[in-house]
Structure 1
């Protein structure tokens, strides 16, 4: 095999298989990084909220303290619900973006492979 033929085969292999696989790997890694970061943020926020509530209950000494703790608990439950809803929307958005990008990569791969098969 001549050097020109070898070079052409290498370039075709790179553009048809290696580059798309590299782009897909980068997409997967980016998605995983964003997803893990969102999960860590959610866990941290909910843990902080839970610990704050536990500390609030430790301060209950009388009826007024109990009323404050119950009110704080209701507010915390409301805040937690809003936070969970926002986190779910964020993860859904990340997933939709991932699907769009992977579909685009698949389409690009098909377009790149079509001339190579002719």
Structure 2
């Protein structure tokens, strides 16, 4: 009876617990990467906004107004480039997670099918 219980436990472990643990680790890694990317983006966007606010506070005459406008245009361009890069990074993280998840699902399915043949 113990051998039957051990075999059932091993089958359950290999068919359900191990794949779920593997997927959970993949998901945690995905969320860690995603959160880090979002925090980096938030920090960069905040820094840009604060820098622009400081630039506008320094406007005292027509020349400083012109410099502030030029700075605003440059910041807007930098912001758009940053958004593009951040979007690509988040997309890449998502694609990697999807590929890893699919690979794990295929391996788990194959493992269950192999165990069923035994």
TM range (shorter): over 0.9
Q: How many residues get paired? A: 117
* Counterpart position of 1:25: 24
Aligned CA-pair RMSD: 0.8
* Counterpart position of 1:62: 61
Q: Which runs of 5+ in 2 are unaligned?
A: none
Q: Structure 1: which 4+ aligned runs deviate by more than 6 Å?
A: none
What is the TM-score when the length of structure 1 is the normalising length?
0.96
Q: Which runs of 5+ in 1 are unaligned?
A: none
Map Cα deviations across residues 64-117 of structure 1 (whole Å, 9 max, x no partner): 100110000000000000000000000010011011100100100110010233
* Counterpart position of 2:40: 41
Cα separation, 2, equivalents of 1:110 and 1:29: 22
Written as runs of structure 1 = structure 2, the 5 A alignment for 1:59-98 is 59-98=58-97
Map Cα deviations across residues 18-38 of structure 1 (whole Å, 9 max, x no partner): 000001111111101110110
Cα separation, 1, equivalents of 2:114 and 2:92: 34
